[in-house]
Amino acid sequence: MRESAIGKTEPQSRRDVEHQALFATENSTFRPENSDIAAHNSNGAAQSSDIAAQNLTFRPQNSNGAVQSSTLRPQHPKLQPLSTPHSPLPTPHSPALPQSALLPAGEAALHIWKPLWEQGWRTFKWKIGVQGIAAELELLHSFTQSLPATANLRLDANGGLSLDDAAQWLEACDAITANPNLPVVMEYLEQPLAVSQFQAMQHLSDRYTTPIALDESVATLQQLQTCYEDGWRSIFVIKPAIVGSPTRLRQFCQDYAIDAVFSSALETAIGRHMGLRLAKELGNPERAMGYGTAHWFNDVETSDFAQLWQTL
């Protein structure tokens, strides 16, 4: 039975092979026609390559614009901790362009300020309201003990303090100012309370010697105008990148003699350039501008503020 089955299978196998060979031969007769199509397509491809080559001749003319655009648009800027070895410290700034260096919150600030001081920075901004008030007041004591006499220190609570905590911070700052052995300048406490507590901040400003600066309360031009109309005469921290129309802002600052500190909203090159231009024109020249943030970015076009200043 097996031999019979094999015998029947072999002829069938041969027929299959022959049929496949015949099919392959028949298909081959169509290839010359297809080769004409392929040749035609290759001519089209050649024409396309000629067009592509012609297009390439126009690109060098636009290359300068592309390079310029790339310098204005840092690729995906990322915030980096100040202490990472890959984040270079900012270069010393010109006396004509005083800047406030942004420090990290907590104890890290005690280790970061000195390298910045050696680079030429004289004003520092320290974030508070992150830990418990007792621990942070201890850090403030250590901080002011170590800072040189000519240093200026700003405290920024980002609206995160309670009324009682804000009063304790202001009392501590007043005590430092009154201590002749601690000649550090406590420049101001920034936005101690939430935006909704404007009147409470007004009362604190009247009660303590250390100035209070409004930040989140004057984030927009409308808020800035409202706070001024409601009687705020202390410091205004203005962030040009988010406040609104530069023209209206310029008009407001020219109409009213406000104590303005222009500050960064962690924008990149274009926004910072515009902000510095307005700060030069409208800011209080006696106060450092709050644009000492470039060292928090991986890729900015320059961290040399003096060089940028010359372009304004």
d(CA 42, CA 35): 10
Position 28 pLDDT exceeds 60: no
Position 130 pLDDT exceeds 60: yes
* Residue pointed to by tokens 């995906």: 76
Q: Dihedral sign, CA of 269, 274, 275, 279?
A: positive
Helix (H, G, I), strand (E, B) or coil at 58: coil
Cβ contact 216:158 at 8 Å: yes
d(CA 172, CA 140): 9
Question: How does DSSP classify residue 287?
Answer: S
Cβ contact 157:191 at 8 Å: yes
Please name the residues in contact with 77: beta carbons below 8 A apart, sequence gap of 6 or more: 268, 297, 298, 299, 300
Which of the pair, 196 or 21, is modelled with greater confidence? 196
User: How many Cβ atoms are within 10 Å of 169's Cβ, its own excluded?
Assistant: 25
The residues that are catalytic are 127, 239
Which of the pair, 46 or 217, is modelled with greater confidence? 217
d(CA 2, CA 245): 96
Q: Given the DSSP bridges, would you call strands 235-238 and 289-292 parallel, antiparallel or unpaired?
A: unpaired
Length of the chain equals 312
What are the residue boundaries of the structural domains of the chain, listed by start?
2-57, 99-310
The share of the chain scoring above pLDDT 70, in percent, equals 62
DSSP 168-235: HHHHHHHHHHH-TT---EEEEEE--S-GGGHHHHHHHHHH-SS-EEESGGGSSHHHHHHHHHTT--SE
- What is the pLDDT confidence band of residue 310, given thresholds at 50, 70 and 90? low
d(CA 32, CA 24): 14
Tokens representing residue 88 in the block: 């270079």
d(CA 79, CA 296): 5
Helix (H, G, I), strand (E, B) or coil at 11: helix
Cβ contact 214:236 at 8 Å: yes
Q: Residue 62 has what pLDDT? A: 46
**Looking at the domain 99-310, which fold is it?**
TIM Barrel (3.20.20)
Residue 120 φ/ψ region, left for φ over 0, alpha for ψ in the -120 to 50 degree band, beta for the rest? left
Q: Residue 131 has what pLDDT? A: 94
Angle between helices 269-282 and 246-255 (to 10 degrees): 20
Q: Residue 261 has what pLDDT? A: 96
Which of the pair, 79 or 311, is modelled with greater confidence? 311
Tens of pLDDT, residue by residue over 170-226, are: 999 999 999 999 989 999 999 999 999 999 999 999 999 999 999 999 999 999 999
The share of the chain scoring above pLDDT 90, in percent, equals 53
Question: How does DSSP classify residue 312?
Answer: -
Which of the pair, 269 or 67, is modelled with greater confidence? 269
Amino acid code (one letter) for 150: T
Mean of pLDDT over the chain:
76
Which of the pair, 145 or 71, is modelled with greater confidence? 145
- What is the pLDDT confidence band of residue 293, given thresholds at 50, 70 and 90? low
Residue 157 to residues 170, 194, 215, Cα–Cα distance (Å): 12, 10, 10
Q: Residue 78 has what pLDDT? A: 39
Which of the pair, 224 or 22, is modelled with greater confidence? 224
* Residue pointed to by tokens 């409202």: 226
